Amino acid sequence: MSDHTNTQKNIAVAFFLNATFTVIEIIGGILTNSVAILSDAVHDLGDTFSLGLSWYTERLAKRKPDSRFTYGYKRFPVLAAMVNAVFLLGASVFVLSRAIPLMFNPEPVHAMGMIWLAILGIIFNGAAVLKLSKGDSLNQKVVRLHLLEDTLGWMAVLIGAVIIRFTGLLWIDPLLGIMIAVFIIYNAIKNLKVALIIFLQAIPSLSENGNLEKDLLKINGIESLHDIRSWTIDGSSHVYTLHIVAGSNVLPEEYTAMKQKVRDRLSASGFEHVTIEIDRNDEHCDLSNS
C-alpha cells in the first residue's frame, strides 16, 4: 500500500473516531449542563469538519494540473483551512456568549457525568492521535496536532470535573469553557492569517530578505533584474517570475545557459515554478519600472 493511500486511510479512521465522539460529546454536554464540555464539543466539531476536508482535499490535491487549474489543486487544502477557521471563530464566540454570564451566575452541573465524558474523550482522541502517529504528510501532522490538543483539553476537563465533584466550585466549569474557547479563537485566527496571506499572494518567507536577488545578480552576464514576482501556491510550492537584463557582452546563444543558472539558483531556494524572460540591455521593457 502506498504512503498516499495510507495517509488517506489514517485520516479516514481519525475522522470517524472524532465524528462519533463529537455526537456523544454534544449529547453529554447538554445532559450534564457543562459549558466546558459544550465548548470542547465545538472544538471537536471543528476538528471533525477539518478532518473531513483534509480527507477530501488530500485526494484532490494530488490531481495533476489541467486546463482549468494550471497550477493543479494544491490550493484546495488552504481553502479548507480558511473555511474551518471561520467556522471555529463563529462557534467559539457563541460559546463565550454563554460561558461569560455563567461565571457570575454558575448553574449546577453533573460532575460525575463530566468525569466519564472526559475519560471517553481522552480515549477517543488518544486513539486518533496514535493512528496518525507515524504519518509524515503535512495533513497528518496538522491533524495530529489538533487531536493532541483535544486530548490535553479533555485532561483539563477531567481535572476540573474532579475539583467540582469534591469542592462544589461551579464557576470552574464556565471558566474552563472560556479558556478552551479563547484557545480555539487564538489558533483559528493564526491559521486564518496564514491562509489569507497565501490567498493574497504575499511573497514567501524564503524570498523576503533580498539576498536572493543579490545572488542572482552575481551570475555572469546579468546586468539587472526587474518585474520580479514571487508567491506561494499552498505554503510549500512556490512560484518565481522575473525579467533578466543581459549585458551587452552576452551573446544570444549564451542566454540558455544563463537562464539555467538562474533556474538552478531559484530551485535550490525552494521555488518549484520558475518563469524567466531575458531582455537585451538596449531593449525597452514596459515592465522595467513595475
Q: How would you write 24-45 as a 3-class SS string?
A: HHHHHHHHHCCHHHHHHHHHHH
Of 23, 2, 6, 11, the residue nearest 56 (C-alpha): 11
The pLDDT tens digits for 152-197 are: 778 888 888 898 888 888 888 888 878 878 887 888 888 888 888 8
The pLDDT tens digits for 222-235 are: 988 988 888 888 88
Last residue of one domain, picked from the residues 199, 229, 249: 199
CATH of the domain at 228: 3.30.70.1350
pLDDT at 242: 92
The pLDDT tens digits for 245-285 are: 998 888 888 999 999 999 999 998 889 889 999 988 877 77
pTM for the full model?
A: 0.70
What is the C-alpha separation between 35 and 42, in angstroms, rounded? 10
Both 120 and 169 in one domain: the answer is yes
> Which three cell numbers mark 98?
454563554
Of 56, 176, 58, the residue nearest 118 (C-alpha): 176
The pLDDT tens digits for 9-41 are: 667 777 787 788 888 888 888 888 887 788 777
For residue 64, what are the domain limits? 3-199
Of 178, 179, 159, the residue nearest 169 (C-alpha): 159
CATH of the domain at 60: 1.20.1510.10
Q: Given pLDDT bands bounded at 50, 70 and 90, which one contains residue 141?
A: low
Both 176 and 242 in one domain: the answer is no
pLDDT at 111: 85
**Which of helix, strand or coil describes residue 200?**
coil
**Percent of the chain's residues with pLDDT above 70:** 87
Both 124 and 18 in one domain: the answer is yes
What is the C-alpha separation between 245 and 269, in angstroms, rounded? 21
| Concatenated DSSP letters of 84-95 | HHHHHHHHHHHH
The pLDDT tens digits for 70-120 are: 777 778 778 877 877 787 788 778 778 878 888 888 888 888 888 888 898
Q: At what angle do helices 35-60 and 172-199 cross, to 10 degrees?
A: 20
Kindly tell me if the per-residue pLDDT of 60 is higher than 80.
no
End-to-end CA distance of the chain: 50
Number of structural domains the chain divides into: 2
Both 121 and 245 in one domain: the answer is no
pLDDT at 240: 92
Kindly tell me if the per-residue pLDDT of 203 is higher than 70.
yes
Both 84 and 211 in one domain: the answer is no
Both 92 and 217 in one domain: the answer is no
Q: Which helix (H) or strand (E) holds 276?
A: strand 271-280
CA 120, distance to chain mean position in Å, is 27
Both 30 and 174 in one domain: the answer is yes
Last residue of one domain, picked from the residues 165, 199, 233: 199
- The burial of 181, by beta-carbon neighbours within 10 Å (0-12 exposed, 13-18 middle, 19 or more buried), is given as buried
194-212 as b/e: b if 16+ CB within 10 A:
ebebbeeeeebebbeeeeb
Both 127 and 220 in one domain: the answer is no
Both 35 and 112 in one domain: the answer is yes
Phi, psi dihedrals of residue 38, rounded to the nearest 5°: -65, -35
What is the C-alpha separation between 70 and 79, in angstroms, rounded? 17
